[in-house]
C-alpha cells in the first residue's frame, strides 16, 4: 500500500469512531495544555527576568569586587579567620562577615586591565532629604545614570552627557514635591541634602552633641529637573523605582562628602568595569578572566541572568514533569483505544491480509492511526492553551504588575516540536496494538463473526 493510502485509511477509521477518537485525544490534550502553558510561562518568566537584568545592569559591564565571598555565600557553619588587612566587620544579611573593599588603587589597577575601557565604583548616595520650596522633606537615593538604562520618560529628555546639578526625577516624587504633572516639573529646582557620617558616628556616644554637629556637617545643593522617568515594571526592587539619577562625578563627590573622615572613605564594595565591545561575549569573558587573574571576583550580567534562569528552569522542570505524567497516563488511553480498534477490525485486517497486504503496512496503518490521535490531542491541547493564555495575558500582567510584559509567551517552533513529539510518543503507544494486528492470522481473522 502507498503511504498516502494508508494515511487515508487511518483517517477514515478515526472518523468512523469519532467519539472514541476525540475522547482519547482529549486525554492527551490535557497534558499538552499543561505543557504548552508551562513552556509559555517559562518563556515569559525568562524574558521578564532578562528584561529586569538588562534594564538594571549594563550588559557590557562587569561587576568587580575584592571580596571573594561577595558573589557566593561563604560557609557560615565554619569560623572565619580574622584578617587585619581586611576592611570592616559588618553584618551581611544576619551573618557577620569581614568584607574586603576596593580602594582607589584597586580601581586604578582594574582600569589598566586589557579590554577594560573604564571603571566606576558602584555608589548610590543616601540623601539626608529631598525637598522643594514649600514642600515636606523626604529621604531618598541619588544614583549615577548609565545610558543603557533608557528609562521611559514622562517628560523632558536625557542628554548624552548629564550636566552637573541636573537630575532625572522619578514619577513617584511628582505629587510629593507638589508637581501637578510631569511636564510642570521640568526646569524646576529641587534641593538635595547629604550628611557627613563622622557626625553620625558620634550619635551613639553623645546624641545631643551629634545632633548639633550634624547640622553643621550637612550640605544642601540645588538640582534642576531635566526629565521625569516613569515607574518601570522591570525595576529590580520597589526601592530603585524612586531613585534620582544624575551624572557619576557628582554622585562620587557627594559620596566623598558623606564618608570623608570615616574608614569608609573611597572604599567600595563593588565597581563596574566597562568592557570595550562588551556585547561580544568572548571579549566580555576574556576581560572577566583577566580581572579574575588579578585576584578580584567578577560577575557579568550573563552570570546574573544564568542564576535567575536556573531558578526558573527548576520550576519549569517540576511543572513539565507533571505535564509529562499526564501525557504518559493518557498514552495508556491510546494503547487501550488501539487495542479495541484492532479487535473491532479483526475481519478487516484478515481481509486485507488475504488480499496480500504486507504485515508492515498493516502495522503502519495502526501506528499512523495512533500518531494521528496524538497529533489531534496535541493540536487541541496547545490550541486551547494558546487561546486561553493569550486571552488571559493582559489580566495576568495587570495582576502581577508586569507592565507591558506578558507572562505567557508562546513560540510557534516550540509548540510545533511539542506536537510532533506527541505524535511520535503516540505512535510508540500504538506499537503493541499494531504488532498484534500485523501478527493476526488471516484465516482466524476471517473466521471471526
Partner 1 sequence: MIEVNNLTKIYGKKDTAFNALKDITLNIEDKSTVSIIGKSGSGKSTLMHIMSGLDEPSSGTVLIDGVDIFKMKEKKIDAFRASEMSFVFQSFFVEGNATCYQNVLLPLEIAKVGITKRKKMVMEALKAVDLEDKVSAKASTLSGGQKQRLAVARAIVNKPAIIFADEPTGNLDSTNGDKIMDLLFGLNKSIGCTLIIVTHDPDIAKQTSMRVSIKDGKIENIEKGRK
Indicate whether 7 belongs to the interface with partner 1 (CB under 8 A).
no
Q: Where are the beta strands (DSSP E) in 72-187?
A: 89-92, 95-98, 116-121, 125-131, 138-144, 153-156, 166-170
- Whose CA is closest to 162, among 145, 141, 137, 140? 145
Virtual torsion, Cα 78, 83, 88, 89, nearest 10 deg: 20
Indicate whether 11 belongs to the interface with partner 1 (CB under 8 A).
no
Minimum CB separation of residue 233 from partner 1 in Å reads 57
Minimum CB separation of residue 348 from partner 1 in Å reads 6
Indicate whether 84 belongs to the interface with partner 1 (CB under 8 A).
no
Q: Which of 19, 91, 204, 449 binds partner 1 (CB under 8 A)?
A: 449
Q: Which stretch binds partner 1 (CB under 8 A): 92-100, 151-159, 410-418, 438-446?
A: 438-446
Nearer to partner 1, 306 or 347 (CB): 347
Minimum CB separation of residue 334 from partner 1 in Å reads 21
Minimum CB separation of residue 7 from partner 1 in Å reads 12
Give me the phi and psi of 132, to 5 degrees please: -150, 155
Site for partner 1 in 357-376 (CB under 8 A): 357-359, 361
For 258, the grid coordinates are 558623606
What CA–CA distance (Å, rounded) separates 219 from 165?
14
For 313, the grid coordinates are 528552569
Q: How many CB atoms lie within 10 A of CB 11?
A: 13
Nearer to partner 1, 136 or 358 (CB): 358
Indicate whether 442 belongs to the interface with partner 1 (CB under 8 A).
yes
The site map against partner 1 for 15-34 (x = CB under 8 A) is -x------------------
Residue-wise over 269-301: b if at least 16 C-beta within 10 A, else e? Answer: bbbbbbbeebeeeeebeebbebbeeeebbbbbb
Minimum CB separation of residue 431 from partner 1 in Å reads 20
What are 246's strand-pairing partners? 144
Site for partner 1 in 296-355 (CB under 8 A): 347-348, 350-355
Residue count, binding to partner 1 (CB under 8 A): 23
The contact set with partner 1 (CB under 8 A) reads 1-2, 5, 9, 12, 16, 347-348, 350-359, 361, 442-443, 446, 449
Amino acid at each position: 500500500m502507498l503511504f498516502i493510502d494508508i494515511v487515508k485509511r487511518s483517517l477514515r477509521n478515526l472518523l468512523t469512531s469519532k467519539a472514541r477518537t476525540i475522547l482519547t485525544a482529549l486525554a492527551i490534550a490535557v497534558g499538552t495544555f499543561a505543557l504548552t502553558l508551562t513552556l509559555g510561562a517559562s518563556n515569559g518568566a525568562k524574558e521578564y527576568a532578562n528584561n529586569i537584568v538588562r534594564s538594571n545592569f549594563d550588559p557590557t559591564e562587569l561587576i568587580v569586587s575584592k571580596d571573594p565571598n561577595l558573589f557566593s555565600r561563604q560557609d557560615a557553619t565554619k569560623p572565619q579567620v580574622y584578617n587585619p588587612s581586611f576592611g570592616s566587620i559588618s553584618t551581611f544579611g544576619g551573618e557577620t562577615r569581614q568584607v574586603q573593599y576596593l580602594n582607589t588603587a584597586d580601581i586604578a589597577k582594574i582600569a589598566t586591565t586589557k579590554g577594560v575601557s573604564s571603571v566606576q565604583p558602584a555608589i548610590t548616595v543616601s540623601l539626608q532629604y529631598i525637598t522643594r520650596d514649600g514642600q515636606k522633606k523626604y529621604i531618598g537615593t541619588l544614583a549615577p545614570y548609565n545610558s543603557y538604562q533608557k528609562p521611559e520618560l514622562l517628560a523632558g529628555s536625557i542628554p548624552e552627557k548629564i550636566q552637573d546639578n541636573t537630575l532625572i526625577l522619578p514619577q513617584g516624587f511628582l505629587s510629593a514635591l507638589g508637581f501637578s504633572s510631569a511636564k510642570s516639573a521640568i526646569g524646576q529646582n529641587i534641593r538635595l541634602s547629604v550628611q557627613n557620617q563622622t557626625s553620625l558616628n558620634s550619635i551613639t556616644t553623645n546624641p545631643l552633641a551629634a545632633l548639633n554637629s550634624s547640622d553643621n556637617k550637612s550640605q544642601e545643593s540645588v538640582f534642576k529637573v531635566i526629565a521625569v522617568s516613569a515607574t518601570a515594571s522591570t525595576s529590580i526592587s520597589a526601592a530603585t523605582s524612586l531613585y534620582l539619577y544624575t551624572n557619576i562625578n557628582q554622585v562620587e563627590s557627594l559620596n566623598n562628602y558623606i564618608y570623608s573622615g570615616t574608614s569608609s572613605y573611597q572604599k567600595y564594595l563593588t565597581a563596574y568595569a566597562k568592557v570595550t565591545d562588551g556585547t561580544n561575549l568572548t571579549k566580555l569573558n576574556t576581560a572577566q578572566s583577566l580581572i579574575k587573574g588579578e585576584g578580584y571576583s567578577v560577575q557579568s550580567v550573563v552570570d546574573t541572568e544564568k542564576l535567575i534562569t536556573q531558578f526558573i528552569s527548576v520550576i519549569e522542570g517540576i511543572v513539565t514533569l507533571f505535564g509529562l505524567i499526564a501525557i504518559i497516563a493518557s498514552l495508556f488511553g491510546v494503547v487501550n483505544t488501539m487495542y479495541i480498534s484492532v479487535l473491532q477490525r479483526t475481519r478487516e485486517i484478515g481481509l486485507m491480509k488475504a488480499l496480500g497486504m504486507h504485515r508492515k503496512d498493516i502495522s503502519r496503518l495502526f501506528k499512523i492511526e495512533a500518531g494521528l490521535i496524538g497529533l489531534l490531542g496535541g493540536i487541541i491541547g496547545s490550541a486551547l492553551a494558546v487561546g486561553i493564555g493569550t486571552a488571559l495575558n493582559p489580566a495576568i500582567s495587570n495582576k502581577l504588575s508586569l507592565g507591558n510584559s506578558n507572562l505567557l509567551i508562546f513560540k510557534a517552533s516550540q509548540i510545533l516540536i511539542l506536537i510532533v513529539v506527541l505524535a511520535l510518543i503516540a505512535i510508540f503507544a500504538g506499537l503493541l496494538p499494531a504488532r498484534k494486528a500485523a501478527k493476526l492470522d488471516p484465516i482466524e481473522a476471517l473466521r471471526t463473526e
